[in-house]
Amino acid sequence: MTQHISYPTTGTCSRQIDIELEDGIIRNVTFTGGCHGNTQGIAALVRGMKASDAAARLAGIDCRGKGTSCPDQLARALKQAH
């Protein structure tokens, strides 16, 4: 079953993360806003991963003392989906 998630981010340069999951596997991630090269890199690295594994790896990453980051926001979105 395919699941689509649109997650509005907080505390980051990106404004939204759109995620496509299929049976708990990340099929696609698209960030709106943020550092384009970095967000494309994150999306490419997590593609094909189990959502739970990606969330565990990315949770808690901080950007410039903001208490969150684009990877951390992706982890939060993935955790919320499950």
Q: Which residues pair with 5 in a beta bridge?
A: 19
| pTM metric for this prediction | 0.95
Tens of pLDDT, residues 9-62: 999 999 999 999 999 999 999 999 999 999 999 999 999 999 999 999 999 999
Q: Which residues pair with 6 in a beta bridge?
A: 18
Q: Does domain 2-81 have CATH number 3.30.390.50?
A: yes
The type of residue at 58 is L
d(CA 42, CA 38): 6
**Residue 78 and residue 6 in contact, taking contact as beta carbons nearer than 8 Å:** no
Tens of pLDDT, residues 57-78: 999 999 999 999 999 999 999 9
